[in-house]
A and B are shown apart, each in its own frame.
Chain A
């Protein structure tokens, strides 16, 4: 093999996923269907190993399957928009609208209102953004969309920072993580503790019909949640953790493994909620210490080099432990 490229693996390793061939047709993933939409098709300009590109195709293909292809997508400004529509090309095979960074929830609400007024009741709306367009600049519009119970599924692809503009800190950036605006310098390197916004819980607090979190590591779970969301009407929210090799400082072939470790460590709780109440949580299958998740990411390198920062690692472990307790993950 050529040096610089990771060895090709032909079998899933370290996964608990059941192979599609062992499942009945009804249980197989949309992705395993050769007739899937490929909503985000090949030729886009995402980085190698981009978790967001993977998740966006998973989510929109599942939504297209759930709606029989009667779906319109609205996209916030960000990586996903930039890498998918460089003039004069588009990687979208669905009806797709991009307006601004902070208004995707309102634009989605507008599309939904138009469809209702025009009697196109069978057409559904999915709006999507990164964490910046969701938890920060888009939050006002998102809260309004939730509060009005607009008939939109809003999907946040959370890579925990402003990766499109060069890896700056967002309010979804975890504590201690190095970003370009929370450098790994000074006595408290990286992003401060005690800050940040837990958007899935804020979404639950709005009392909307459906809220779910998922990671790009578990395709069956992610597709299941898209189907659950599309089976309901009103405001729905799906928060998908999508590792970013560029921003996290990880190898492109580590994206899925890191998403799985985020869940298995307890740092990223995977759960569902309906009408303000948490109804289900995905249990941790093999619990790992947060260190296993942090160590492969160069944005946390300052926790291990030149001196081990057991105090900081301990605080992150305490956050994972709190999630385990809150959602009953064990």
Chain B
């Protein structure tokens, strides 16, 4: 049943329908509405049996999940940005131990400068942690992905991260059909752990492993990711059969079958990308788009297949690896190596900067004309950058960059005023 819901609310209800037994959370914008709603469902007894643990940090949140999952409980938490960084040691640990926690990341920029708005820097910072990383395009998909995530995580004993754009999705109200309880119950079997802390059958979990077997343990983790690559589309099609709509999967093409120039992107940005594609198509420019739903494991073959007709790919992403360029673009380039398809990195929308249809249309037309460079910073205010470069050249003690730029923009007053 379609209802007008905030994205966070939809996700909270979908998570509750998955019947997690231990939920723990530490508040951080823009994740707060999700855990508030789950917390209320537990407190009211709607979601039971479930323990909701208000922890003192994100590091503790993931650690509580680790303990609870090892004791055989279905576990869930949510975080964003600095919170994900603060729990990163435990994020790696959950994957290394093979514990199937599901975590929502309400994607947000990383400081400094502190910034609460959306980009994908947080998720990219843990791309090598061994987690499955899924990216939702819409609130409907965000809700649906959580149901699939628990299924995948528990089948493979692998933690799964569902990424949804902070504010853009978490705080947006739109019509969502939250997966119904009976349908979720039919789709998601009870959690049967591969390893569990049981006094009646005691095992040692988390033993030290030296050079004798460490590579093998890591290789098995890699194999589980490769298994996920097979299972994700299968689970998505089972979900489509059970719930009557397409959500999840590896990649999602849009008007790309005969496109020379294809935009590849992740998350809510795809909505604007598709509109820009429509505009360009209306002008007769042969462009298309491919949405990447699964970022880890990286679906290299699916990406190559989806780009079969493309001569060039424009990877528009809300992340930057300073000194390199795009992160997703690097993976795409590796997948396309030897195919002759040109890959252009476009870094866009950092720290919540809007990525407009107009900018994307212009970008696509430039790319289609063969005039786009290898690395582009979309809508970069060059005069602002040049002003700071000039200041740094003029004086050693040029001061804090962030404040300087805000003063140039007249967001704050002059230092001596």
Could you tell me if A109 and B89 are in contact, using CB atoms closer than 8 angstroms? Answer: no
Could you tell me if A70 and B199 are in contact, using CB atoms closer than 8 angstroms? Answer: yes
Could you tell me if A99 and B22 are in contact, using CB atoms closer than 8 angstroms? Answer: no
Q: Would you give the shortest CB distance from A117 to chain B, in whole angstroms? A: 4
Could you tell me if B59 and A106 are in contact, using CB atoms closer than 8 angstroms? Answer: yes
Most buried by B among A72, A95, A96, A106: A106
Which residues of A are found within 8 Å of B71, using beta-carbon distances? Answer: 72, 110-111, 114-115, 118
Residue of A nearest to B55 (CB): A144
Could you tell me if A144 and B70 are in contact, using CB atoms closer than 8 angstroms? Answer: no
Could you tell me if A144 and B199 are in contact, using CB atoms closer than 8 angstroms? Answer: no
A215 adjacent to chain B (CB < 8 Å): no
Could you tell me if B72 and A87 are in contact, using CB atoms closer than 8 angstroms? Answer: no
Within 8 A of A (CB), among B64-81: 64-73, 75
Pick the contact of A99: B21, B56, B97, B202 (CB < 8 A): B97
Which residues of B are found within 8 Å of A96, using beta-carbon distances? Answer: 197, 202-206
Interface window among B46-54, B102-110, B233-241: B46-54
Could you tell me if A114 and B202 are in contact, using CB atoms closer than 8 angstroms? Answer: no
B188 adjacent to chain A (CB < 8 Å): no
Q: Would you give the shortest CB distance from B330 to chain A, in whole angstroms? A: 30
Q: In the bound complex, how far is the Cα of B201 from the Cα of A72, in angstroms? A: 11
Could you tell me if B205 and A107 are in contact, using CB atoms closer than 8 angstroms? Answer: no
Q: In the bound complex, how far is the Cα of B97 from the Cα of A326, in angstroms? A: 45
Pick the contact of A107: B54, B57, B64, B73 (CB < 8 A): B64
Could you tell me if B197 and A111 are in contact, using CB atoms closer than 8 angstroms? Answer: yes
Within 8 A of B (CB), among A70-124: 70-72, 74-75, 81-82, 85-88, 90, 92-100, 102-103, 105-119, 123
- Take A99-B93, A100-B90, A114-B67 as given contacts and tell me if A87 and B204 are in contact as well, using a CB distance cutoff of 8 Å: no
Q: Would you give the shortest CB distance from B215 to chain A, in whole angstroms? A: 12
- Take A85-B207, A97-B205, A117-B73 as given contacts and tell me if A102 and B93 are in contact as well, using a CB distance cutoff of 8 Å: no
A308 adjacent to chain B (CB < 8 Å): no
Could you tell me if A100 and B24 are in contact, using CB atoms closer than 8 angstroms? Answer: no
Pick the contact of A97: B54, B64, B206 (CB < 8 A): B206
B213 adjacent to chain A (CB < 8 Å): yes
Could you tell me if A98 and B206 are in contact, using CB atoms closer than 8 angstroms? Answer: yes
Q: Would you give the shortest CB distance from A113 to chain B, in whole angstroms? A: 4
Could you tell me if A109 and B53 are in contact, using CB atoms closer than 8 angstroms? Answer: yes
Which residues of B are found within 8 Å of A148, using beta-carbon distances? Answer: 53-55
- Take A81-B208, A123-B199 as given contacts and tell me if A110 and B21 are in contact as well, using a CB distance cutoff of 8 Å: no
Q: In the bound complex, how far is the Cα of B60 from the Cα of A140, in angstroms? A: 9
Could you tell me if A90 and B51 are in contact, using CB atoms closer than 8 angstroms? Answer: no
Q: In the bound complex, how far is the Cα of B63 from the Cα of A107, in angstroms? A: 5
Could you tell me if A140 and B49 are in contact, using CB atoms closer than 8 angstroms? Answer: no
Pick the contact of A72: B64, B197, B208, B209 (CB < 8 A): B197
Which residues of A are found within 8 Å of B67, using beta-carbon distances? Answer: 74, 97, 99, 106-114
A69 adjacent to chain B (CB < 8 Å): yes
Most buried by B among A95, A112, A119: A95
Could you tell me if A99 and B208 are in contact, using CB atoms closer than 8 angstroms? Answer: no
Chain A interface residue number, banded: 35 or more
Residue of B nearest to A68 (CB): B199
Could you tell me if B60 and A71 are in contact, using CB atoms closer than 8 angstroms? Answer: no
Q: In the bound complex, how far is the Cα of B87 from the Cα of A140, in angstroms? A: 13
Most buried by A among B65, B69, B207: B207
- Take A95-B198, A97-B70, A99-B90 as given contacts and tell me if A140 and B65 are in contact as well, using a CB distance cutoff of 8 Å: no
Q: What per-residue 1/0 map shows which CB atoms of B200-232 lie under 8 Å from chain A?
A: 011111111110110000000000000000000
A292 adjacent to chain B (CB < 8 Å): no
Q: In the bound complex, how far is the Cα of B71 from the Cα of A112, in angstroms? A: 8
Residue of B nearest to A86 (CB): B208
Mostly helix, strand, loop or mixed at chain A's interface? mixed
A297 adjacent to chain B (CB < 8 Å): no
Q: In the bound complex, how far is the Cα of B108 from the Cα of A118, in angstroms? A: 34
Which residues of A are found within 8 Å of B210, using beta-carbon distances? Answer: 86-87
Q: Would you give the shortest CB distance from B291 to chain A, in whole angstroms? A: 35
Q: Would you give the shortest CB distance from A205 to chain B, in whole angstroms? A: 16
Most buried by A among B21, B65, B70, B199: B199
Q: In the bound complex, how far is the Cα of B59 from the Cα of A111, in angstroms? A: 16
Which residues of B are found within 8 Å of A86, using beta-carbon distances? Answer: 207-208, 210
Could you tell me if A99 and B59 are in contact, using CB atoms closer than 8 angstroms? Answer: no
Q: In the bound complex, how far is the Cα of B204 from the Cα of A93, in angstroms? A: 8
Could you tell me if B68 and A111 are in contact, using CB atoms closer than 8 angstroms? Answer: yes
Could you tell me if B206 and A110 are in contact, using CB atoms closer than 8 angstroms? Answer: no
- Take A72-B197, A110-B71 as given contacts and tell me if A87 and B55 are in contact as well, using a CB distance cutoff of 8 Å: no
Which residues of A are found within 8 Å of B72, using beta-carbon distances? Answer: 114, 118
Could you tell me if A95 and B199 are in contact, using CB atoms closer than 8 angstroms? Answer: yes
Could you tell me if B60 and A95 are in contact, using CB atoms closer than 8 angstroms? Answer: no
Could you tell me if A110 and B63 are in contact, using CB atoms closer than 8 angstroms? Answer: yes
Q: Would you give the shortest CB distance from B197 to chain A, in whole angstroms? A: 4
Could you tell me if B205 and A110 are in contact, using CB atoms closer than 8 angstroms? Answer: no
Q: What per-residue 1/0 map shows which CB atoms of B388-405 lie under 8 Å from chain A?
A: 000000000000000000
Residue of A nearest to B56 (CB): A144
Q: Would you give the shortest CB distance from B192 to chain A, in whole angstroms? A: 13
Residue of B nearest to A92 (CB): B204
Which residues of A are found within 8 Å of B64, using beta-carbon distances? Answer: 106-107, 109-110, 113
Could you tell me if A94 and B202 are in contact, using CB atoms closer than 8 angstroms? Answer: yes
Pick the contact of B212: A87, A105, A109, A117 (CB < 8 A): A87
Could you tell me if B56 and A117 are in contact, using CB atoms closer than 8 angstroms? Answer: no
Q: Would you give the shortest CB distance from A235 to chain B, in whole angstroms? A: 13
Which residues of A are found within 8 Å of B90, using beta-carbon distances? Answer: 99-100, 103
Most buried by B among A70, A81, A99, A112: A99
Which residues of B are found within 8 Å of A298, using beta-carbon distances? Answer: none
Could you tell me if A97 and B89 are in contact, using CB atoms closer than 8 angstroms? Answer: no
Could you tell me if A113 and B55 are in contact, using CB atoms closer than 8 angstroms? Answer: no
Q: Would you give the shortest CB distance from B214 to chain A, in whole angstroms? A: 9
A284 adjacent to chain B (CB < 8 Å): no
Which residues of A are found within 8 Å of B198, using beta-carbon distances? Answer: 95
Q: Given A85-B206, A112-B67, list of 14 further CB < 8 A pairs? A: A81-B206, A92-B204, A94-B199, A95-B198, A96-B202, A97-B205, A99-B63, A99-B66, A99-B97, A107-B66, A109-B53, A109-B55, A110-B65, A148-B53
- 6 sampled A-B residue pairs with Cβ under 8 A: A72-B71, A81-B206, A93-B202, A103-B89, A114-B21, A118-B21
Q: Give B contacts to A, CB under 8 Å.
A: 21-22, 24, 49-51, 53-57, 59-61, 63-73, 75, 89-90, 93, 97, 197-199, 201-210, 212-213
Identify the 7 closest CB pairs spanning chains A and B, nearest first: A110-B67, A144-B56, A98-B206, A106-B63, A114-B73, A114-B71, A103-B63
Q: Give A contacts to B, CB under 8 Å.
A: 69-72, 74-75, 81-82, 85-88, 90, 92-100, 102-103, 105-119, 123, 140-141, 143-144, 147-148
